[in-house]
Amino acid sequence: MSHIMVTEIENRLKARKINPTAMRLLVLEFLIRQTAAISLNDLEKAMAPSDRITLYRTLKTFEEKGLVHSIEDGTGATKYALCEKDCDGESHHDLHVHFYCSTCRETFCLPDTRIPEMNLPNGFEKEEMNLIIKGMCERCNTPTLQ
């Protein structure tokens, strides 16, 4: 990691009032490089021999401070992806669609595809929304040249 990148990552953590420990810097740098959401198991494999509990706590801190959001994509493993800039510790504003590819089994954020506003019956109060579309991602859906 270059000095410039370390400074940028430190600043990103400090902006969310997160103490920039060595592990947090590494985890955030790893998340920035991802094109798809990752699970704790994915992170643990990438960061071996790091402690699973430390990685879990790092992800939870990032989520509490509005740096990442969690995604329940139906696979049984919670996935994590970077939040949009306007999220904070009070509320996440990541009301976008998530896409699960049934071929490569990766989960993608589609930030330009917003979840439509939902009108609930009286007496029902929304706490969170999650919309998962399942199918084949662009990479898996592109025919290979022979």
Burial 53-88 (b: 16+ CB within 10 A, else e): eebeebbebbbebbbbbbbebeeeeebbbbbeeebe
Binding positions for Fe cation: 92, 94
Binding positions: 92, 94, 101, 104, 137, 140
Binding positions for Zn(2+): 101, 104, 137, 140
Position 65 scores a pLDDT of: 92
Whether residue 84 is predicted with pLDDT greater than 90 in this model: the reply is no
pLDDT tens per residue, range 46-66:
999 999 999 999 999 999 998
Strands 132-135 and 96-101: parallel
Position 2 scores a pLDDT of: 62
For the chain, which domains are there? 3-141 (1.10.10.10)
Q: Which helix (H) or strand (E) holds 54?
A: helix 52-64
Q: Could you tell me which of 19, 20, 27 has the C-alpha nearest to residue 44? A: 27
Report the mean per-residue pLDDT for the chain.
89
Positive or negative: CA dihedral 10, 12, 18, 21: negative
Query: Strands, DSSP E only, in 23-90?
Result: 38-39, 68-71, 79-82
- Check if the beta carbon of residue 64 is closer than 8 Å to that of residue 57: no
Q: Which helix (H) or strand (E) holds 53?
A: helix 52-64
pLDDT tens per residue, range 15-49:
999 999 999 999 999 999 999 999 999 999 999 99
